[in-house]
Amino acid sequence: MTRWLDSLGRGIVGYCAAAGDTILLALRALGHIDGALRKFPEILGHMYAYGIRTLPVTAVVGLFFGAILALQTGLALDLYGQVEVVGIVVTAGMCREMGPFIAALVLSSTVGSGMAAEIGTMKVSEEVDALEIMAIDPVRFLVMPRLVALMLVCPILTILVDFLGVVGGLVVAVTQLGVSQHVYLEQAIEALRYERTFWEWPKDVYTGLAKAVVFGFTIGAVGLAAGMRASGGALGVGRAVRNAVVNCLLLIIIFSYYLTWAFYG
C-alpha cells in the first residue's frame, strides 16, 4: 500500500513538474517572439515542412469527415423533411469545431511527435548542451521558430479542412441525399452569414481560426517540451514522443471544449 501511494505520489509530482516545464518553455519562447522577424526565413522553412508533410492526410481526412457529417446529419434531417439545411450543418460544424480539431489532430500525431523525436534526439546526443556552451539559447534557436511555424500552419490547414469538408458534404448531399448543388451552397453561405462580428467576419470562421492558433501553440509547446525533457538515449526519446502525442490529444480535446464555451457559451 505504501509503495503504491509512493509511486502514485511520484507520478503526480512528475506530471506536475512536466506541466510546469511545458508552460515555462512556452512562456520563454513567447519572450523571444521579437526575434521571429529575423528568423522568418527559417520559420517559413518549418511551415513548409509541417504543411507539406501533413497536407495529403489532412486533405483526405477533411474531405471524408465532411462527407460523414453530411450523411449522418442528412439522414436524420430527412426524417423531419429538413434535408435542405444540411449545408448549414456541415459548414457550421466544420468551421466551428471539426476543421481546427482535425487539423490539430493530424498535426499532433505527425508534427508534434516528430518535434518531440527531433528535439529529444538532439537533447540526448548533447546538441542542446553544445548550443548552451556556445551561449546560444536553445529556446530562441530551436523552440521559438518551430512554435511560431506551428501557430501559423495550423490555421492554414484549418482553412483547407473547412473547405474540403464542405466540398465532401456537397458531394454526399448531391449524390446521396438528393439536395441540389445550388441549395447546398446557398445554405452553406447562409451559415457563414449567420453571425458576423469582429469587422463583419463570419464568427464561425474566426473562432475556428482562433482555436487553430491555440491548438498549434499547444502542439508545439507540448511536443518541444517533451523533447527538451528527454533523457536516457533512444528509450527516453521514445517516451518523449509517446508523452507528446498523448498530452497533445488530451489538451486539444479539453481546450476545444473550453474555447467553444468561451465563444458560444
Q: Cβ of residue 123: shortest distance to another protein, in angstroms?
A: 11
Nearer CB in complex with another protein: 145/169:
145
Q: Cβ of residue 35: shortest distance to another protein, in angstroms?
A: 11
Q: Cβ of residue 96: shortest distance to another protein, in angstroms?
A: 38
- Please give the Cα distance from 127 to 63 (Å, whole number): 41
Nearer CB in complex with another protein: 37/79:
37
Nearer CB in complex with another protein: 1/133:
133
Taking only Cα atoms into account, the Rg of the chain, rounded to an integer number of angstroms, comes to 21
Q: Cβ of residue 120: shortest distance to another protein, in angstroms?
A: 12
Q: Could you tell me the three cell numbers for 68?
A: 460523414
- Please give the Cα distance from 123 to 236 (Å, whole number): 10
Nearer CB in complex with another protein: 103/122:
122
Nearer CB in complex with another protein: 5/133:
133
Q: Cβ of residue 232: shortest distance to another protein, in angstroms?
A: 13
State the residues that interact with another protein by CB under 8 A: 121-122, 125-127, 129-136, 141
Nearer CB in complex with another protein: 64/141:
141
The torsion of the CA quartet 21, 148, 242, 250, rounded to 10 degrees, works out to: 80
Q: Cβ of residue 121: shortest distance to another protein, in angstroms?
A: 8
- Please give the Cα distance from 105 to 198 (Å, whole number): 27
